[in-house]
Amino acid sequence: MKISYNWLKEYLPIDLPAEKTGEILTDIGLEVEGIEKTEAIPGGLQGLVTGLVLTAQKHPNADKLTLTTVDIGQPQPLQIVCGAPNVAVGQKVIVATVGAVLYPMGGEPFTIKKSKIRGETSEGMICAEDEIGTGSNHDGILVLPPQTPVGIPAKDALQLPEDYVFEIGLTPNRSDAGCHIGVAKDLAAVLKVNYKIDATVVMPDVADFKPDNHHLPINIVVENTDACPRYSGVSISGVTVKESPEWLQERLKSIGLRPINNVVDITNFVLHELGQPLHAFDADRIDQKTVRVKTLPQGTTFTTLDEVARTLNADDLMICNGNNKGMCIAGVFGGIGSGVTAQTQNIFLESACFNPRFVRRTATRLNLRTDAATRFEKGVDPNLAVYALKRAALLIKELAGGTISSNITDIYPQPAEKLQVTLTYSHLKRLLGIDMAPKQVKNILHALEMDILEESPDTLLVAVPTNKTDVHREADVIEEIIRIYGLNNIPFTNKIQSSVSYTQKPHSQALKNIVADLLAGIGFQEIMSASISNANYYTENDSKGLVKLLSSINADYNVMRKTMLYSGLEVIARNQNRKNTDLRLFEFGHTYSISETANTQYAEQEHLALFLCGNNTRESWRLQPRELNFFDAKEAVDKVLERLGIAALQQQIVAQPANHLQYALAYYHQNEQVALVGPITTQKQRQFDLKQPVYFANLYWNAILNLLSNQKLGFTEIPRFPSVRRDLALLLDKEITFAQVADVAVKNAGALLHSVTLFDMYEDQAKLGQNKKSYAIAFILQDNTKTLTDKDIERVMNRIETACRQQLHAELRQ
């Protein structure tokens, strides 16, 4: 939000440096992100000074040039060749010195240089008003009043205004400070309390408002008072729509607005002065001279000012005419057939308070982020509507002519009253940690325009102004008090009080930190993606149970994500578009779903998602990179589970796991799925325009936490006795998986079997036979109580070989 310092000082006459004012605003919660100095003239007339013409003689080599000497307050006067016919001795003039840059009206900037003109040296330039940008006259040089001092900056002699514009990062809860008077009120409060400056905000005077006649009455009907708690309007006839005066244009330009015409500019001016959005209609285009605030049937088409035909929902609030034809989307955007044009002579001026919920829903769905919609979404003061209407009507009468041709019609069935909040001094001390004198508390409340209705030794009954839409309870009032008192004024204490909690069960965040450290150590990077997604990502079968958003921020994000996959693929696509193709990513996040039964229930699950694509390492002279594959993703899952102390999970190949994976390996514990890993389908690759395969793993974090909570943790001593490795080469049917072999070995080997690892797989139809393959498997045996003997080892290996022959029809290869 931009705030002009000159504009602000019209309501709060203060004489503080802009930098100091910026510091004060930041201290009270209106963070000043930047201060920009603006000049009335480009360049601010830097390098231009006042001078006295000492001599003026005809140029020896040119009839239309004059050779002058000019005193600019330096030890030696300047010799300047001048082409103006009106230059004369004794004149006070503007001199552009060597190096100064001039910004002439309607021309390109140029730099003054020391040069020779027709053989005579010229050490500057005596300026005309069009040459320095102060006017359009080029008949002669600009002659200053005789009393003008010599050698002072030209901007001081011409008394050119300069301004400072504050860029304030306004938080959504501070709608009351979303205008110049709102900021002025906050600034006045802190100046009174902390700086003992008698700062009083001067409000615009609307006492002169009265109807001149009643020639243009407009009837107003509000059909939905929930969506429109207050609607006010007045008619003005005989206006002349034209360019705004310079002062008004400058006010709007200073905060980055483009002037349009006097009527529209006045509505924008009042918006940024008072914070109340206004809208002006061409009264001659209002059928039956009636304004209806209502909704229109679902699917109604309405063309807005940007000439876009938009389809309305049944709950979009509209401003309609007597024929129920839409003229404006209430609080959002005007229509193409009802606005003010150069031919407009009669206007109807609207000042209303619209329900933020209705405005936000409509503006978001239609993707119309207007200044008015933003104000209504944050909440405006309903009790300001008529005051702002009077202010705008008087300005229109002054700047556009015409007469006020109706009484103000004000539909306000349930006037907003000041909220009453009880403030307790003991609660104030508990929250702030300081003792504030009751007098100081009351001074701050009065400075914030909060009335004290009742008081006792420990409590105050406070009436909160209706413009403070974020103040609802005692804590909010205390926040307002400390804002003005100053967080910097709270003393630090040397004593720190803290408590430490202890739990035997694993804490979710602690486990996340452990896993995050592990993954970062093996080359993964953590991402944080949006929990909202695009419904188009989901197939018809997959879209069941989607949680749809009624009012989405962006049309492309209209559902809550049901899987972690798509938000991660968006991240991969963005990185690949920026030539970052070798990716190993992980994310902790939530997914959302809804049961489509009569008893609607929402579900939220937490997950750990892994994404792998590209090569395993960068290209180098020492190592050749290889493409990441399914087994890299599986290895990452295994390492996470191992680090968490989770072992002996059942593994099962899923041929058709879901619409988004080609195949998958699922991890189970007692029929509950703990993890799933596999490559995404080529269809999903094309949908996200991915140039390389992506491997996705999903670990169900809730299932992992449940598993760990029921798991007894213990300490295992580092083995004191050596382990033994034995290898077997087994000839198996092609459909037999390693998981089956490992399962048979574990069930039959006994307690001495420590691990089973597949280290080679071989297929050759000519040597092994049709539909056959060979597994080379390493078995690690260990006894924690003694060194294994050859008999112990032979007994275990015989059991493994026998079980594999009988259960898997395996043959031992020599």
Are 35 and 49 in a shared domain? no
Query: Can you read off the two tokens belonging to residue 377?
Result: 């979404």
Range scoring the smallest mean pLDDT among 453-462, 560-569, 711-720: 711-720
Amino acid present at 723? S
Residue 140 has pLDDT above 70, yes or no: yes
**First CA to last CA distance, the chain:** 81
pLDDT at position 712 is 66
Q: Measure the CA–CA gap between 86 and 142, rounded to whole angstroms.
A: 9
pLDDT at position 645 is 87
Residue 770 has pLDDT above 90, yes or no: no
pLDDT at position 496 is 60
pLDDT at position 767 is 83
Is residue 84 a contact partner of residue 128, using CB atoms and an 8 Å limit? yes
Residue 540 has pLDDT above 80, yes or no: no
Q: Residue 308 — pLDDT band, cuts 50, 70, 90?
A: very high
Query: Can you read off the two tokens belonging to residue 595?
Result: 């049961």
Element (H, E) at 520: helix 508-521
Are 570 and 672 in a shared domain? yes
Range scoring the smallest mean pLDDT among 192-201, 254-263, 708-717: 708-717
Are 435 and 536 in a shared domain? no
pLDDT tens sequence across 239-253: 999 999 989 998 998
Q: Which residues contact 416 (CB under 8 A, 6 or more apart)?
A: 229, 382, 383, 466
What domain range includes position 469? 423-489
Amino acid present at 477? V
> Crossing angle, helix 508-521 and helix 701-709, to 10 degrees?
120
Q: Residue 369 — pLDDT band, cuts 50, 70, 90?
A: confident
Q: Measure the CA–CA gap between 201 and 293, rounded to whole angstroms.
A: 35
CA distances in angstroms from 463 to 173, 420, 445, 452, 460, listed in the order given: 19, 5, 10, 6, 10
Residue 281 φ then ψ, to 5°? -110, 150
Q: Residue 600 — pLDDT band, cuts 50, 70, 90?
A: low
Residue 377 has pLDDT above 80, yes or no: yes
Indicate the average pLDDT of the chain. 91
Are 324 and 379 in a shared domain? yes
> Crossing angle, helix 371-378 and helix 262-274, to 10 degrees?
30
Is residue 533 a contact partner of residue 509, using CB atoms and an 8 Å limit? no
The count of C-alpha atoms lying within 13 angstroms of the C-alpha of 122, restricted to the half-sphere facing its C-beta, is 22
Determine, yes or no, domain membership for 579.
Answer: yes
Determine, yes or no, domain membership for 503.
Answer: no
Are 611 and 563 in a shared domain? yes
Q: Which residues contact 353 (CB under 8 A, 6 or more apart)?
A: 228, 229, 230, 231, 376, 380, 381, 382, 385
Determine, yes or no, domain membership for 498.
Answer: no
Is residue 438 a contact partner of residue 423, using CB atoms and an 8 Å limit? no
pLDDT at position 501 is 57
- The beta strand positions in 595-638, using DSSP E, are 602-613
pLDDT tens sequence across 144-181: 999 999 999 998 998 887 899 999 999 989 999 999 99
What DSSP string describes 97-142?
ETT-EE--TTS--EE---EEETTEEE-EEEPPHHHHTS-S--SSPP
Q: Measure the CA–CA gap between 738 and 744, rounded to whole angstroms.
A: 10
> Crossing angle, helix 180-194 and helix 262-274, to 10 degrees?
30
Determine, yes or no, domain membership for 494.
Answer: no
pLDDT at position 620 is 79
Are 553 and 681 in a shared domain? yes
Q: Measure the CA–CA gap between 440 and 449, rounded to whole angstroms.
A: 14
Quote the number of domains for the chain.
6
Residue 421 has pLDDT above 90, yes or no: yes
Of 355, 380, 411, the last residue of a domain is 411
Query: Can you read off the two tokens belonging to residue 206?
Result: 């609307």
pLDDT tens sequence across 183-225: 999 999 999 999 999 899 999 999 999 999 999 999 999 999 9
Determine, yes or no, domain membership for 213.
Answer: no
pLDDT tens sequence across 87-106: 999 999 999 999 999 988 77
Determine, yes or no, domain membership for 245.
Answer: yes
Are 729 and 788 in a shared domain? yes
Are 613 and 701 in a shared domain? yes
Query: Can you read off the two tokens belonging to residue 245?
Result: 């005066």
Residue 598 has pLDDT above 90, yes or no: no
Dihedral through CA 742, CA 743, CA 744, CA 746, nearest 10?
80
Is residue 331 a contact partner of residue 207, using CB atoms and an 8 Å limit? no
Share of the chain above pLDDT 70, in %: 96
Is residue 745 a contact partner of residue 779, using CB atoms and an 8 Å limit? yes
pLDDT at position 135 is 78
Laid out side by side, the sheet with 219-222 consists of 219-222, 290-295, 317-320, 326-329, 333-334
Are 86 and 175 in a shared domain? no
Determine, yes or no, domain membership for 324.
Answer: yes
Question: Which CATH number goes with the domain that contains 323?
Answer: 3.50.40.10
Question: Which CATH number goes with the domain that contains 71?
Answer: 2.40.50.140
Q: Which of 133, 143, 124 is nearest to 43 (CA)?
A: 133
Residue 286 has pLDDT above 80, yes or no: yes
Are 542 and 645 in a shared domain? yes
Determine, yes or no, domain membership for 200.
Answer: no
The count of C-alpha atoms lying within 13 angstroms of the C-alpha of 624, restricted to the half-sphere facing its C-beta, is 0
Q: Measure the CA–CA gap between 752 and 731, rounded to whole angstroms.
A: 24
Residue 772 φ then ψ, to 5°? -125, 155
Is residue 3 a contact partner of residue 255, using CB atoms and an 8 Å limit? yes
Q: Which of 738, 741, 742 is nearest to 754 (CA)?
A: 742
Query: Can you read off the two tokens belonging to residue 53?
Result: 């013409």
Residue 45 φ then ψ, to 5°? 60, 35
Are 137 and 57 in a shared domain? yes
316 or 784, greater pLDDT: 316
Query: Can you read off the two tokens belonging to residue 107?
Result: 């021309």
Q: Which of 112, 94, 92, 93 is nearest to 102 (CA)?
A: 112
Residue 474 has pLDDT above 70, yes or no: yes
Question: Which CATH number goes with the domain that contains 684?
Answer: 3.30.930.10
Query: Can you read off the two tokens belonging to residue 424?
Result: 């307790």
Are 225 and 169 in a shared domain? no
DSSP lists the bridge partners of residue 775 as 730, 761
Residue 504 has pLDDT above 70, yes or no: no
pLDDT tens sequence across 384-414: 999 999 999 999 999 999 999 999 999 999 9
pLDDT at position 542 is 77
Element (H, E) at 637: helix 630-643
426 or 543, greater pLDDT: 426
